[in-house]
Amino acid sequence: MSLLDLSGIEKSFGSVSVLHGVDLTVGAGEVIGLVGDNGAGKSTLMKIVTGMYQADRGSITLEGDNILELTPGERRARGIEMIYQDLALAKQQDVASNIFLGREPTRRVLGMSLVDRRKMKLDAQKMIDRLGAKLPAITRPVGSFSGGQQQSVAIARALTFNPKIVIMDEPTAALAVREVQSVLDLIRQLKSQGIGVILISHRLNDVLSVTDRIIVLRQGRAAANLLTKETTMPDIVSAIVGGGDVMVAAAHEAQG
């Protein structure tokens, strides 16, 4: 059984039809690349997964349970996390404050509830260590970090929700080559912990280097479902631009 299963997802905004019966599956510890031109429907599809948008038709199950009627908060509680391209970090705050933003641990002192800064710092360091991420100091404002280091903080924050699925929107788009490798290593780390990852990216080299399968969306349809190890850059480009649909039926069997 797949961890996440989307079937026949359709979505329109007024008279504009954006998604036309999209199917997508993600297994535990599987990294899926989601690629396609701007306007292909990638962001809309992922917002339907997180609950920000409601699908007009189709079904979504997580570990076999229907989550279509759940709110974004309920879906997050069930294990679906999305890291947006802007990361949504509080740049003036330190690492611990960002990781626990809005969920700060507290302790009782003289009948008052105070933020437990020591526990925050210790737990934040545990999350960073779990990722194997390299940060200069968790007491520094995250705005002083490089782009790749800020990605590390955003991923560590997602881990505190004990996610089953992490969706990453263009995580390497603005990074230098060395930083890109660091983020790809973080994705591999999530995979090794049994977390399913959906990677939205225009950087096809990154997608080819870190994914198990690649889903190509074109004009709101899943135009290709490719096994990465059997796929080349021209295969992906051909599917994106419409030079012959490529469907790899065996990809569905790859999850066991």
Per-residue model confidence as pLDDT tens digits over 13-43: 999 999 999 999 999 999 999 999 998 999 9
Residue 238: HSE in the Cβ half-sphere, 13 Å Cα cutoff: 13
**Residue 165 is inside which H or E element, if any?**
strand 165-169
Domain assignments of the chain as residue spans, ordered by start? 1-79+163-256, 91-162
Confidence label for 243 from pLDDT (cuts 50, 70 and 90) = low
Residue 101's pLDDT is what? Answer: 86
- In 3-state terms, what secondary structure has residue 129? helix
- In angstroms, what CA-CA distances link 185 with 50, 114, 143, 177? 24, 37, 22, 13
246 in Cβ contact with 47 (< 8 Å): no
Percent of the chain with pLDDT over 70: 94
Q: Which residue has the higher pLDDT, 221 or 256?
A: 221
- In 3-state terms, what secondary structure has residue 89? coil
Could you read off the pLDDT of 81-138 as tens digits, one per residue? 999 888 889 999 999 999 998 878 788 888 888 888 899 999 999 889 888 888 888 8
pTM of the model: 0.88
Q: For the domain 1-79+163-256, what is the CATH superfamily, name and number?
A: P-loop containing nucleotide triphosphate hydrolases (3.40.50.300)
- In 3-state terms, what secondary structure has residue 139? coil
Could you read off the pLDDT of 143-190 as tens digits, one per residue? 999 999 999 999 999 988 899 999 999 999 888 888 899 899 999 999
Chain centroid, CA 139 distance in Å: 26
